[in-house]
Chains A and B, each alone.
Chain A
Amino acid sequence: MPSTPMTAEPLLSVRGLGVRFRLPQAEVTAVDGVDFDLARGEVLGIVGESGSGKSQILFALMGLLAANGGASGEARFGGRNLVGLAEGELDRVRGSDISIVFQDPMTALNPFMRIGDQLAEGLIVHRGATRRSAWAEAVAMLDRVGIPDPAARARAYPHQFSGGMRQRVMIAMALLMRPAILLADEPTTALDVTIQAQVLDLIAELARDSGTAVILVTHDLGVVARACDRVMVLYGGQVMEAADVDTLFAEPRHPYTQGLLAAMPRLGGETAPRLGTIPGSPGSDAAPGCPFAPRCDRRLPRCTVERPALVDRPPRRIACHLEAADAAS
């Protein structure tokens, strides 16, 4: 159970989070100056197109960056800074207080291990459970995420499961630990639409019941509308705009957010709306200005030379020079 008492103090407080990768010739910045807070029981959505750094934010929090990557900044959780925490210390937090559902369910499970053992492992390692009792809990959780005949399926191996089933196993594995924070990286991408809704509801239910806070990474604004309380829009590794879901959908202020919403077919439509295509692609991080400037149709001269700061404009936070221009006029 989370050690943080229920106060105004956020469960997780992230400041100036950065992720950089060393490449043979150069260094690339995948995440730059990301700030956010996460309260108990809250569901925070992170949206942004492919390559915008969504997954790397989650990996940085878990100490799971690739060997050529490094994180900077601060992520306060339970009195510790998760960034730069030693592996041994991290292992006490990972899988116990914070769990993660990975993006790719096909390769995230160990092919040599029974599903039940993979689920039970966390309980055995962190809670000192016996294999027997852990296995029983694992079967119960498989049942909850909608795996038919869970007692038999727990004895099976990952290759005997479809992609959607594996994703549910991953979700069961994460939920089983009743973590304080659940990091879910596109948890519903591999699922068909009806199951998607079920799984999202399950995650939301868990957040409500056990006070688990969720960071939900997605391409899908429909998922955001359905499951999230707040949402953070990412572009080129930087936060463009962040607000509660209602504000963001009703009154998007950042040109990128506006573009996203405009490209979205229709709220509440039957087909799951995906992030629409906005012309261009995330710019190179060597450029000094706003990462979105090259694709922005309301670009000011300073946008390409000066990076806009992320400022508080209640009820939102936004990083855009237009805000300052509007305020001045």
Chain B
Amino acid sequence: MLRFIGRRVWDGGLTLAALVTLTFFVMRLAPGGPFSKSRKISPEILANIQKTYHLDEPVWMQFGRYVKGLVTFDLGPSTRFRDYTVGDMISAGLPWSVTIGIWAIIVATLIGVALGVAGAMRRNSAADYVAGIVGVVGVAVPIFVIGPLLQSVFALRLGWVPVGGIGAGWRALVLPILVLALPNVAYISRLTRSSMIETLRENYVRTARAKGVGAARMVRRHVLKGTLLPVIAYLGPATAAIITGSILIETIFALPGIGRHFVDAALNRDYPLVMGITLLYGALLIVLNIATDLIRAWIDPRLRNGR
């Protein structure tokens, strides 16, 4: 097991290193620089600015400087918001994105798994139909429709929660979390349902029935693990996607999350910020994938010795 963990972490590190290199060179090779087309700047000032940001050095030296900065968690100043470092901006935005992301995943998993299990155990029951409807709505209706819809009902009409912003504490996060969770509720419930129906057909479940262990123990001890394996495999990447992909939500609900910084940064050729956020996303994805693999191996002994 230890070797398995070591192996996964090593692989993750390599992937991250490749990501650092790739993002750096892709950014530098793209035409245009942060100061090239904004306003007319006199050559002396431009040279000065370039010196400040070390843009006058050869690329490999910039790369070395960048890697050194990364190792010490110093990502340098943002070129767009000069008073802030990239670190400042990430640590201001990330907590919001992580908070709504994690809660959305938790909510989605609890509701999705419950609906899926209920649907699989009582096919064509009321619970099964509810899950089916949530599934269709969650997948088919885009966030930018469902978000404003919920805003108009629960914020404008009923006044239970604010329309947006962060002034109202946790209340402000309820709608964004729900909207972010909805497509995942849909997906997770369908995944759980089909996975459980498949597991119930397994011969080893028939063996458990033949042992007369009873329905409750059968589900708990013999069906749940097999059912949840694919769900867990989905949750890792889904968590990364939900944390990084909340740009739309942050815009609709006026939240100061990191997704909006990312878009701003890209539009303004803010190299350090774009790279900082890209690496953050990459690291997040890698860490979550490792976590997923470990949890899966913890559940399924067949995955432990492997690869």
A interface residues with partner B (beta carbon < 8 Å): 62-64, 87-88, 90-96, 99-100, 102, 104, 107-113, 121-122, 125-126, 157, 159, 170, 173
Contact = CB atoms under 8 A, between A and B. Distances in A.
Contacts of B222: 110, 113
B167 interface: no
Nearest to B210: A100
Tell me whether chain B's interface is mostly helix, strand or loop, or mixed.
helix
A100 B213 CA distance: 14
A112 to B, nearest CB: 4
Contact of B226 (A64, A96, A112): A112
Interface stretch (B9-17, B22-30, B77-85, B198-206): B198-206
A92 B213 CA distance: 9
Nearest to B200: A67
A22 to B, nearest CB: 15
Nearest to A88: B214
A109 B217 CA distance: 16
Contacts of A126: 212
Given A112-B225, A157-B301, A159-B302, A64 B217 contact: no
A110 B211 contact: no
B221 interface: yes
A104 B162 CA distance: 60
Interface in B212-254: 212-215, 217, 221-222, 225-226
Contacts of A62: 210
Interface in B292-307: 299-302
A173 B212 CA distance: 13
A177 to B, nearest CB: 8
Contacts of B300: 111-112
Given A110-B204, A111-B204, A170-B207, 6 more contacts: A90-B212, A95-B211, A107-B204, A112-B226, A122-B211, A122-B213
Nearest to B304: A157
Closest 8 CB pairs of A and B: A94-B212, A95-B211, A95-B212, A107-B203, A91-B212, A157-B301, A110-B204, A112-B225
15 contacts: A91-B213, A94-B211, A95-B213, A102-B203, A108-B203, A108-B204, A109-B204, A110-B208, A111-B302, A112-B301, A121-B211, A122-B211, A125-B214, A157-B302, A159-B301
Nearest to B301: A157
A74 to B, nearest CB: 21
B212 A93 contact: yes
Q: Which of B215, B221, B299, B301: most chain A CB closer than 10 A?
A: B301
A129 to B, nearest CB: 13
B212 A96 contact: yes
Nearest to A105: B203
A269 to B, nearest CB: 33
Contacts of A109: 204, 207
B209 interface: yes
A94 B210 contact: yes
Contacts of B221: 113, 121
Nearest to A117: B221
Contacts of B215: 87
A179 to B, nearest CB: 11
A107 B209 contact: no
Interface in B175-217: 202-204, 206-215, 217
A92 B212 contact: yes
A121 B300 CA distance: 19
- Between A91, A93, A96, the greatest number of chain B beta carbons within 10 A of the residue's beta carbon is seen for A91
A95 B210 contact: yes
A64 B212 CA distance: 11
A110 B217 CA distance: 14
Nearest to A125: B213
Contacts of A92: 212
B204 A64 contact: no
A94 to B, nearest CB: 4
A21 B209 CA distance: 20
Contact of A99 (B202, B206, B208, B210): B210
Interface string B236-275: 0000000000000000000000000000000000000000
A108 B222 CA distance: 12
A302 B214 CA distance: 49
A96 B213 CA distance: 10
A90 B215 CA distance: 11
A62 B208 CA distance: 12
Contact of A64 (B202, B206, B299): B206
Contact of B299 (A90, A112, A125, A173): A112
